[in-house]
Amino acid sequence: MSQLCSIKEKGWKSNLLLENVTSVLTIDFKMSRALICELVHTFTTYFTLLTTLSLEFSYMSMDLHFLDHALPKFNNLKVLVLTLSGMEDVSPLGITPLIEASPYLQKLHIELGWHETTISKNRIIQKKCPHQHLKEVKYSGYLGGFVDMVLATYLIENSVVLETFIIDPFKYDAQEARGQAQ
């Protein structure tokens, strides 16, 4: 088991009971938001060589500030992919502690799947944390609203060596929306 290089898991609860697998370089998890803090601690403790982390959260109807505290550091993490689906009335700035816990991050891909888009300005909290190594950001699901502007501004202002910032706007499909409404 010590030569394991990649882990993929999907589910509402993690039964991750791995130790002595420091060779893991890539983790891809799709899960409930409640597991994130617990799993980040596990990832930083047992997967010390981790270079790529992909996390997908679903149905984020509650505030993302459950991550609003210092997390253990990902000292080797270079690529972070965050997919947040079913977003409604929350600020994506709540993901910044994951970014801040990755001091050597070079590529960040944020993909937002919106369910409802009525976000109140008083729920926005701006933080400052310089990202010394972040070179590339891809922001998918961009609506162009206040919250998107705040997150984009945060990333631009705090990324010291940013070379590429790609905005992939949210694509509204009226036919698909009618199908979901029925």
DSSP state of 174: H
Domain of residue 34: give its range.
21-181
The pTM is what? 0.67
Tell whether 12 is covered by a domain. no
* 74 inside domain: yes
Is 5 part of a structural domain of the chain?
A: no
The answer to whether position 13 is within a domain reads no
Look-up of token digits 């700035």: 93
- Please enumerate in sequence order all residues whose Cβ is within 8 A of that of 34, keeping only pairs 6 or more positions apart, or say none: 66
Residue 8 resides in a domain: no
Q: Is the residue at 75 inside a domain?
A: yes
Sheet holding 136-142, edge to edge: 6-11, 26-31, 52-58, 79-88, 107-116, 136-142, 164-169
Our count of domains for the chain comes to: 1
pLDDT at 159 over 50: yes
In a domain, 4, yes or no: no
105-139 tens-digit pLDDT:
999 998 877 655 444 444 444 556 678 899 999 99
Q: CA geometry: angle at 167 spanning 162 and 173, to 5°?
A: 165
- What percentage of the chain has pLDDT greater than the value 70? 59
Between 61 and 48, the higher pLDDT residue: 48
Residue 6 within any structural domain of the chain: no
Cα distances (Å, whole numbers) of residue 44 to 54, 82, 146? 14, 17, 33
